[in-house]
Every structure is written in C-alpha cells, then in structure tokens.
Structure 1
Amino acid sequence: MILCITHSQDTYTIDLVQQHLEQLGYPSFRFNSDEFGTRYRLRYRLTAAGPQYQLEHGNTLIDAADITGVWYRKLWELKVPASLDPAYVPAFVKEYNTSLHIFLDSLDVPWINRIDIDHAVSGNKLLQLTAAQAAGLAVPQTLFSNHAEDAIRFYDDHNGDVVVKLHGALSKTMDGRGDFFPTTRLRKEDVPMLESLSACPMILQQYIPKDRELRIVYVDGEFFTGSLRAPDTTDWRTASTTIIQWEPFVLPPAQEEKITRLMQLLGLPFGAIDMIVQPDGQYVFLEVNPQGEWGMLQKYLGFPIAETIAEKLVQKITHA
C-alpha cells in the first residue's frame, strides 16, 4: 500500500499519480491531511511485538506496517470542527499535529519527498541559494533583512533594479486560486515603505532581465521543462492563466547536471525549480519548491510527470 499525502481540495495531479500506481499494480490510499482531525482515527498501541500504528478512515484500516512507500504532495492546515469551543482550538491543533507526525515518523519506507527534508528546504530559501551556488548555478545577489538601512543600501547598490518578496510567499494553485503575494519590482516611491521591514523581514534580490521564465520539474533524474514569455510582470503567477502560453523547453545538459547536483545536495528526489533565461542566454536559478505545482505542464504540454512520479516511487520500493 502506498500512502499519498495531500488535502481535500487537491485535484488532477493526485488522481493521475494514483491511477498510474494502480496500473503498475500498486494500490494507494489518499490521505487528506486537512481532514485528519475530523474524518480519520489514529490508533497507537505498544504491543509485545512492538509498536502498532493504524490510520482508520470509514471502513478502511491502514496499518503503518503495510505501507511500502509514501508520495508526499502536500500537508494542509487542519480543519477544525465548527462545533468546537474556540478555547479548545489551540489544544486540538497541537495534539492532532503531534499525533499526525508520530504516525508519519513511523513510516521508515521510501518517500518522494521525505517530509523532514522537504520542510527544511522549503522553509529556507537562503539554503536553496547557497546549495545552488555550490552546485555551479548562477544565482541573484540577495538580501534577507528586517533593517531599512540594509534594504535601502541594497537598492542603491543595484541602481534600483531590485525585486522584493516574502520568504514564505503564498502561492497560487494551478487554477489561480488562493491568497498570493507575488514577487514585485521595487519602485523608487516604494523605498520609504522599507521602514516597515521591522514588522516583516523580506527578501530583496537584484532584478534579473529575462527572455524566458522556466518551470523545471525534476523527478529523480528526469526533467520536464515548460517555458513562457510572460506578460510584462515580475511574477508569471500574477498573469491570467488564459494568457499564459506554456511551451516545451529543452535544458542544456550542463544545466541539467548542475540541477541534478543541487537536488542531490538538498536530498530531494522531486522539486519544481524556477529559473530565468536572460536575453544574453545566461541561466539564473531563483528557487526550488519541493511541493511546487506541475499540473499545468502535464495538462498543457502533455508531459508524463504523474507517471514518472509513480514509476520512480515504485523503483525505490522495489530496490529498498
């Protein structure tokens, strides 16, 4: 049994991966993490034979010992029962999150991606940039600060060619839903607002002129790359999904080798990587999202990403 960790609003990608796992002869179980406190039961017993962890949903009972692999797509915020007294919400969230991680930590099987590594990488963009630089990729000059003087000096040093973004920026789903703070070009009239950095540290980066933006999906050595000439905007996700026209793109072997090195350094078999191709043909790494969206590349370009995820996970299981 392969455990697929996602959330109740997830569509398309989760279905494709599960369908292909089934075709490969590997049944899977969809675990909607946001519903853990409302629609699942977790049971832990310490028996004479050792610990026993079980997850129950409706008439389905999953024993941790029967799980052979995990596809970790998303971990979502817990839904809280509407009837719960607000005074008990903090305890509800804390205890259910603890229970969930006790269960997940018990799964000593192949993962794509291991949850601890996934969270460590997604939660530290400076780690990503450092690893990318060590792997030989070009990266933008970057400042992460809560100090206005640092930010203003950085702005001046780059002659105003600077973008600003949150470290933990909210991101849209492939259909454009969800709260969002895009990467934004800093204007001269915005500079006085940098005094507010003490309330919210932010990332400032040199602005990279672009000919094309790339979304590179890396699956354990395989590459699926979409490119676009976005409208005149700093972040392609701010554009209407009806305007964006994804095109297939072939990465040079040298860039594939560097990205492979990066992913090995980070310990990630999967990631969605954002890069820019400059007008002079140079490639610049921006970030890697271990849970990044890729459904649009499968849907519009026909890339077999879901199939590759399923096949790579099965390979890990058979060679474990």
Structure 2
Amino acid sequence: MILIESHDGDDHLAPVRSELESRGHEVVVLDTARYPVETAIAISYDDAGAQPDLRLRLGGTVHDLNACTAAWWRRAQAFTLHPELTDAEARTFAYNEAAEGLEGLRALLKVSWINDPTRDARAAHKPYQLREARRAGLTTPRTLMTNDPEAARGFLEGQGGRPTVYKSFLALEGAWRETRVLRDDEHDRLDLVQVAPVIFQEYVDGDVDLRVTVVGDVVHAAKIHSARTAYNTDYRMELATVPMEPYELPEKVRRGVIRLMRRLGLVYGAIDFRVRPDGEHVFFEINPSGQWLFIEERTGLPITRTFVDALASADRGAPHPRSAPSGCPDCEQNVPRAPRAREAEPVV
C-alpha cells in the first residue's frame, strides 16, 4: 500500500496515482483538509507487541496503515475544524490536538518516505539549504537574509554598485512575489525590511536557467531560455511560453547535486540553477516538493515515470536508494518536527 498526502486540486496527484494503480499498487490518498471532521485516525496499543494498530478512516472505508510500505509527502493542507467550534481558544486547542495525533501517526508509519516530512520541512528553509549547497561543493550567490535595515545597507555597499536582486522566502499562491532587481529609488525604502525578513542576493548574469529534478540517483535537467522572455530575472513570469529543452548536466555539478540531496536527506527535489556566461553553474534553491509537470510536458523528460518507479520500488519492500543521508554527521541531528500543515500551495 502507498499512502499519498495530497488533494484533488494537485495536478501531480492524478498521473502518479493512475500509473501506480495501473501497475497493481493500492493507493490511499489522505487529504488533510478533510481532517479531523471527515477523516479519522485510530492508534491503538494492546498487549500483543510494540507496534500499535494504525487505522485511517476515509469516508466509509477503513485502511490498515500497518500494511503501508511507501508514502509520498506531497501537498499537506491546513486542517478543517468542526464549524461549531467558534471560540478562538477552543479552535487553537482542537487544531493543536489534531496536529499532535496526525504527526504521531506519521512517526509510527514503517514506510519509505518521498520525502520524509521532517527532512522535507528542514530542507525547505533557504538559509539552511544554501549552507548545505556550499558544503556539497556547489556555487551559490553572495546572499543576505535580514530584517535589519542597516545590515541590508551594508550588503548593498559591499556590492559596489553591482546589481542586486531581492525576493521572498516562500512563493505561495495567495502572496506570490517574483524575484526583482533592486532599483536605485528603492534604496530609500530599506527601512521596510523591519516588517519581515527579505532575501538579498547578487544578481547572477546569464541567459540560461536550469531546472534540475532529482529522484534518488536519477537526475533530469532542463535548460530554460530565460533570456528569450521579457523578464529574464524570473522566468516564472512567462512560465507558459519560455522555451525549454533537455540539458546534459556537467558531471561535477551532477555529483554536487547528489551530495546535496544526501546532506538534506531527500529522495526528491527540484533545484534551480543559472548558468553564467563563463559556464559556471550557480545554485539558487531547492524545492523539496517542487512541481515537475511543466518541465516534463515541454521537454519530454520522463520525470513522472521515474517518480512512480521510486514509489513502486518502495512498495515492493525495497527502500528507495539513498532515501536517507549517507556520511553526513549534520543531517541526522536537530531534525524538526513534521509541519502541522501547509497553509497554501508553493508555486513551482
């Protein structure tokens, strides 16, 4: 059995689920937006042994999650509480209790995760992933993340007049912001960073961006001709029309990508690079649950098949290769708790 945490609005769910079921795999989809009112969990201990009985009720069907061998952490949604709960304190209590129950269930599952929720959550933090990218041998831009206006001014002075971009930590549907080049007339507005931290980075010159999608040891790279758009700072502004094609990643960069995945403890990741005119590949970020269909549809790269192969292999009882960190003393320490729920969908 394969458990998928997602929802019907996720366009990546349908092709993966369809292909898995066509191969004979049982798939159970947990939409956390239906929890705890419409969806129920049961964790029961008796005198028989250490492993509890794990049950998940979806509508009128009860699933034995001890039979689950693989799980895909894809798009967990915010819980939906009972409408009769109107008191703010009561709603907070109920939400936290619901989270504790579900997180406890996840922790008890004997499955191969793509990705493990706790490692996924940690790897999604941009300050952390930049450090790990450098430790993996990848080139990263000069960067400052701050809500201190003086630190921001100092960073810009250190740039010596060279172009600087600024961007948000998260790209959410309800509050999406493209990456922007800082204009001269915006220097007088740096006090506004006190409202919330901002990411400042040196502008990386180049005509080509890369989207590198990794599943285990399989690396699919796509070349994105961002210079052929009206806004080459952020190709997402013209995502539907920007030209793309398959790309052969240099072996040195490919090895760095695999090392980064090991350090982060991820099986799946979507990584963004830009290629400088001299050929240097500059790492921007990794999205542990990033989209891939827009790449696959335009380039023909078999990413869905690779992803399904990984889940199918885990469901047959063989843990997916490199699903946990290897040889990384930092990766097993200080792993955070699983996220309670994602309030909105990350974009790309």
Query: Structures share a fold, TM > 0.5?
Result: yes
Asked if 1:292 corresponds to 2:290, the answer is yes
Give CA deviations for 1:124-155 in whole Å, capped at 9, x if unaligned. Answer: 21221111111111100111112111111111
Report the AA paired with residue 202 of structure 2. Q
Per the alignment, residue 255 of structure 2 pairs with: 257
Per the alignment, residue 106 of structure 1 pairs with: 108
| Bigger Cα displacement from structure 2, 261-270 vs 14-23 | 14-23
Per the alignment, residue 337 of structure 2 pairs with: none
1:273 to 266, 271, 274: 271
Per the alignment, residue 121 of structure 1 pairs with: 123
Name the SS of the counterpart of 1:62 in structure 2: strand
Report the AA paired with residue 21 of structure 1. L
Cα distance in 2 for residues equivalent to 1:319 and 1:259: 23
Asked if 1:162 corresponds to 2:160, the answer is no
Per the alignment, residue 23 of structure 1 pairs with: 22
2:205 to 190, 209, 215: 209
TM-score by length of 2: 0.84
| Contact kept in structure 2, 1:54 and 1:64, CA below 8 Å | yes
Q: In 2 relative to 1, CA 98–189 (structure 1 residues): closer, same or farther, beyond 3 Å?
A: same
Per the alignment, residue 193 of structure 2 pairs with: 197
Per the alignment, residue 175 of structure 1 pairs with: none
Q: In 2 relative to 1, CA 72–179 (structure 1 residues): closer, same or farther, beyond 3 Å?
A: same
Report the AA paired with residue 32 of structure 1. D
Cα distance in 1 for residues equivalent to 2:58 and 2:257: 39
Name the SS of the counterpart of 2:282 in structure 1: strand
Report the AA paired with residue 289 of structure 1. N
| Contact kept in structure 2, 1:118 and 1:268, CA below 8 Å | yes
Cα distance in 1 for residues equivalent to 2:242 and 2:80: 33
Name the SS of the counterpart of 2:295 in structure 1: helix
Cα distance in 2 for residues equivalent to 1:228 and 1:28: 34
Cα distance in 2 for residues equivalent to 1:148 and 1:210: 29
Deviation at 1:112, TM superposition (A): 0.8
Per the alignment, residue 41 of structure 1 pairs with: 40
Deviation at 1:81, TM superposition (A): 4.5
Report the AA paired with residue 15 of structure 1. A
Name the SS of the counterpart of 1:37 in structure 2: coil
Sequence identity percentage: 29
| Contact kept in structure 2, 1:136 and 1:258, CA below 8 Å | yes
Q: What RMSD in Å do the two structures reach over aligned CA positions?
A: 1.8
Report the AA paired with residue 151 of structure 2. D
Cα distance in 2 for residues equivalent to 1:180 and 1:31: 26
Deviation at 1:205, TM superposition (A): 0.8
Per the alignment, residue 151 of structure 1 pairs with: 152
| Bigger Cα displacement from structure 2, 73-82 vs 209-218 | 73-82
- Structure 1 gap segments, 5+ residues each: 173-177
Report the AA paired with residue 203 of structure 1. I
Match runs of 1:75-94 below 5 Å: 75-87=76-88, 88-94=90-96
Cα distance in 1 for residues equivalent to 2:93 and 2:22: 42
Asked if 1:181 corresponds to 2:177, the answer is yes
Report the AA paired with residue 161 of structure 1. P
TM-score by length of 1: 0.91
Cα distance in 2 for residues equivalent to 1:99 and 1:153: 46
| Contact kept in structure 2, 1:7 and 1:35, CA below 8 Å | no
Give CA deviations for 1:274-317 in whole Å, capped at 9, x if unaligned. Answer: 00011222110001110111111122222221221121233344
Deviation at 1:121, TM superposition (A): 0.8
Cα distance in 1 for residues equivalent to 2:221 and 2:290: 13
Per the alignment, residue 218 of structure 1 pairs with: 214
Deviation at 1:160, TM superposition (A): 4.3
